[in-house]
């Protein structure tokens, strides 16, 4: 395996950028260089991180805090993992290396606008708006199907993630470290001053981790890219398929096929879609209401006339 080398200068930049209390950071001279202390903490931390050659560090466990949502049941609370300062440094080093490989070589598909440089949610929305408005000019209606992935980060299949990292030609040693970083992880749940017993984490990437969004992007990077004019839009775990045509017959000939392919891919990689939060929307100028059946496992969605796309998005 190719050895991963960490420069103290690069590690120092990551350490300085952390906004976590309790992490000791050496002072700097007026010229910006690191002031020498009796023990240079940044090089020491770097050596500790580099020495994690396949052994999952014990300090990567975390406390989970329930993030309550207004008027929502406790089952909808998001478990945010609070990692130690050294664990945060470790995962940021991994994120930098993985990001340089995935984005530096252009391996992430163009349809993914989440967690990548020079891309944002408004840009993805604008892409759909322009697509719909262009259709209006030629009297075409657009049907968009939005899929909500249930607990996306918590259900990432570890073995499947490792397989996909190899498919993306990520360096073996980096995959080995990531695999062990996610394996043998434990968590405790804290409510006020009470802690639960330790439990093993069997799947998922930790919520609140700097590395998790990038791992999820890699996990979903082989999502089926439809043909025959059907468009795919992604922003992190939010997924949409949309297609325009003058006739309903053309829409229902192309769009259901893409939906079926996507559904098979979801099931293969253990990704669950929440039908209650998924929806189908038809953009057209007609006043007539219609009912669209987008999948046999999803209840029909009543679709109303929308003159202004911005009111929906």
H/E run at residue 41? helix 41-50
Q: What angle do CA 98, 219, 96 make, to 5 degrees?
A: 15
What mean pLDDT comes out for the span 134-157? 92
Beta strands in 158-215 (DSSP E): 185-191, 194-195, 199-201
Pairwise CA distance, residues 211 & 179, whole Å: 13
Least confident of 47-61, 159-173, 281-295: 47-61
Pairwise CA distance, residues 119 & 313, whole Å: 18
pLDDT in tens, 182-200: 887 877 777 778 888 888 8
What mean pLDDT comes out for the span 139-168? 93
Question: pLDDT band at residue 20, thresholds of 50, 70 and 90?
Answer: low
Residue carrying structure tokens 């057209």: 284
Pairwise CA distance, residues 93 & 107, whole Å: 20
Q: Between helices 212-219 and 158-167, what is the axis angle to 10°?
A: 70
pLDDT in tens, 257-276: 999 999 999 999 999 998 88
DSSP secondary structure letters along 169-181: T--HHHHHHHHHH
Q: Could you tell me if residue 185 is left (phi over 0), alpha (psi between -120 and 50 degrees) or otherwise beta? A: beta
Query: 24-58 burial by CB neighbour count: b if 16+ within 10 A, else e?
Result: eebeeeeeeebeeeeeeebbebbeebbebeeebbe
Has residue 243 got a pLDDT over 90?
yes
Domain ranges for the chain, please list them: 8-109+156-219, 121-151+223-312
pLDDT in tens, 47-96: 545 555 444 444 455 555 555 556 667 666 666 666 666 677 778 888 88
Question: pLDDT band at residue 44, thresholds of 50, 70 and 90?
Answer: very low
pLDDT in tens, 108-144: 999 999 888 888 899 999 999 999 999 999 999 999 9
Residues paired with residue 242 on neighbouring β-strands, in sequence order: 144, 231
Query: 4-15 burial by CB neighbour count: b if 16+ within 10 A, else e?
Result: bebebeebbebb
Do residues 91 and 211 touch, judged by C-beta distance below 8 A? yes
Question: pLDDT band at residue 280, thresholds of 50, 70 and 90?
Answer: very high
* Secondary structure of residue 13 in the 3-state scheme: helix
């Amino acid at each position: 395996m190719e050895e991963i080398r960490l420069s103290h200068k690069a590690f120092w930049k990551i350490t300085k950028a952390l906004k976590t209390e309790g992490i000791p950071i050496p002072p700097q001279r007026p010229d910006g260089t690191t002031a020498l202390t009796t023990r240079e903490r940044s090089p020491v931390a770097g050596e500790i991180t580099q020495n994690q050659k396949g052994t999952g560090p014990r300090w990567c466990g975390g406390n989970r805090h329930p993030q309550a949502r207004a008027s929502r049941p406790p089952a909808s609370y998001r478990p945010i993992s609070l990692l130690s300062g050294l664990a945060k440094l470790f995962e940021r080093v991994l994120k930098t290396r993985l990001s340089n490989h995935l984005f530096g070589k252009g391996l992430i598909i163009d349809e993914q606008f989440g967690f990548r440089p020079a891309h944002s949610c408004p840009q993805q929305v604008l892409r759909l708006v322009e697509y719909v408005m262009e259709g209006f000019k030629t009297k075409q209606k657009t049907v968009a199907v939005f899929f909500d992935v249930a607990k996306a980060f918590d259900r990432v299949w570890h073995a499947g993630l490792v397989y996909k990292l190899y498919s993306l030609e990520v360096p073996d040693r980096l995959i080995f470290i990531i695999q062990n970083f996610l394996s043998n992880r434990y968590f405790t749940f804290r409510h006020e001053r009470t802690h639960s017993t330790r439990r093993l984490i069997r799947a998922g990437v930790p919520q609140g981790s700097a590395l998790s969004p990038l791992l999820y992007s890699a996990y979903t990077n082989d999502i089926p890219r439809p043909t025959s004019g059907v468009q795919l839009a992604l922003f992190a775990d939010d997924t949409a398929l949309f297609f325009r045509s003058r006739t309903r017959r053309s829409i229902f000939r192309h769009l259901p096929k893409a939906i079926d392919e996507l559904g098979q891919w979801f099931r293969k990689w253990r990704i669950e879609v929440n039908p209650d939060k998924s929806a189908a929307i038809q953009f057209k100028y007609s006043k007539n209401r219609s009912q669209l059946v987008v999948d046999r496992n999803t209840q029909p969605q009543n679709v109303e006339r929308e003159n202004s796309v911005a009111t929906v998005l």
